[in-house]
Structure 1
């Protein structure tokens, strides 16, 4: 047992260590495996991430990344094709990447109208940018002179646009994402736990979209652990929901590495 892990050894972690073959380890991507950056297209996994994930994936029952990004993008930005057995569930679970194969649903018809209307909605808002994820579209205000004021100004018109097109709005850290309704990280994690006949679960996340996954861990009835990847921007709300708080992606990778150390022994 590593000294760092001994200090935070919850019942859920004990269950994972006692029966790793029955464990599902789930993680978000941005802010959890990859540091948050001003330009989402420049996000990349923590340098130690692929190696630690590959090591852990050989030791536990299932390893899954659940992200709002397209699955293929997360695989590329995370070098996740180097992690044997890993499953990537993109667009909150609409897409699935496994063993090099990508499964995707049809694109929601309302997104074409959203793409046409969003440039008009953000006109005059300096630093606000649109990220087209193919099956969803996100509006980022991180680079605006006043990011929070820009988000606040956009909430109502983007809410109207969502209602007009039958899409849902997913809020995050200085981002509003329009995506197909009826899917979130909580439902996706619940279904994956059932698919894998999980006997314990850990999920790590950093943003409001991960609250549903934390709730799914608690509702699963399994020994579980929730991990908050802390940041200066979002902390109190999600941190209060978590069993363990770590210092960003570096802290997540360190925790996962410590679990692998504990499973391999001295």
Structure 2
């Protein structure tokens, strides 16, 4: 054992305890998968200013050599997550994978390249209508449109009443998305319009099967992580141990299903470092 002062916390559920035990017993058969915003990076008013917590990347670099794979699963474009995370060229993260746009894009550290599908034509059409929709419902002031390539998102965190703006826009944006063959993915003060058929659960299951992992750890913080939670629960029902971590407690739907709730990215980084030390 090393000198990491952070103790490895115990999961609150029997299934989580089994998942952690399996991780420690057979780390080479485990996938560690993590969301980015709110999990590896703090939530900030301007998403373009989000960066991985200073202790997160060193912890991942210490952990990665002991496990089958480390993957970042995010709604962001894969290349953006790589830049904001500072993941490229990090010793120890030579085989990191970033599954962006809920798995539609993929960046592999080995090649340093992003594989991406052609954009869904509905995204551009919906983007063109968004300013008019925001204006019509009086939600233009304080809202912010984020271009995501394969998706487009409307943030209400900077509005005078973020929750009221979010609630007012959810219905109209759902209708706009449906007109263009898209779906709306709600998050913490953000509504994302994106193509259907891909979510973090699908991406995680496909990747776990690709790697041939026996055990999976997943950490997330928002509603978009619920499908990944469901994927881990499915794997557990099929006999594969898993550990579900919730970063922060702002989303009760996630926190209530977590095996191990942690206060936020700083605590998660410390947990990952302690996990790496326990595997060393």
TM-score, normalised relative to structure 2? 0.91
1:184 aligns with 2:199: yes
1:97 maps to: 107
Match of 2:126 in 1: 114
Kept after mapping to 2: 8 A contact 1:138/1:175: yes
Post-superposition offset of 1:7: 3.5
Q: How far does residue 5 in structure 1 lie from its aligned partner after superposition?
A: 1.6
> Aligned ranges for residues 3-42 of structure 1 at < 5 Å?
4-5=7-8, 7-8=10-11, 10-42=17-49
Q: Is the 8 A contact 2:55 2:270 kept in 1?
A: no
Residue pairs, 1:89-168, within 5 angstroms: 89-98=99-108, 99=110, 100-123=112-135, 124-125=138-139, 126-168=141-183
Give me the TM-score of the superposition, normalised by structure 1. 0.96
Q: Deviations over 1:204-255 (max 9, x none)?
A: 0000010110110010131000000014xx2322110100000100111111
Output the CA distance in 1 between the equivalents of 2:184 and 2:76.
Answer: 15
| 1:6–1:65 Cα change, 3 Å | closer
Q: Which residue of the partner structure matches residue 259 of structure 1?
A: 275
Deviation at 1:26, TM superposition (A): 0.3
Please say if 1:241 is aligned against 2:257. Answer: yes
* Residues 58 and 84 in structure 1, CA contact (< 8 A), matched pair in contact too: no
Aligned length: 262
Deviations 1:130-150 (A, max 9, x none): 001111000000000111110
User: Deviations along 1:47-80, whole A, 9 cap, x unmatched?
Assistant: 1111111111111111000000000000000011
Unaligned 5+ segments in structure 1 are none
Aligned-pair RMSD on alpha carbons? 1.3
C-alpha displacement of 1:6: 5.5
Specify the alignment match of 2:95 in structure 1: 85
Unpaired runs of at least 5, structure 2: none
Q: Which moved more, 1:111-120 or 1:8-17?
A: 8-17
d(CA) in 1 for partners of 2:220, 2:142? 26
1:169 aligns with 2:179: no
Please say if residues 75 and 88 of structure 1, whose CA atoms lie closer than 8 Å, have aligned partners that are also in contact: yes
Corresponding position of 2:241: 223
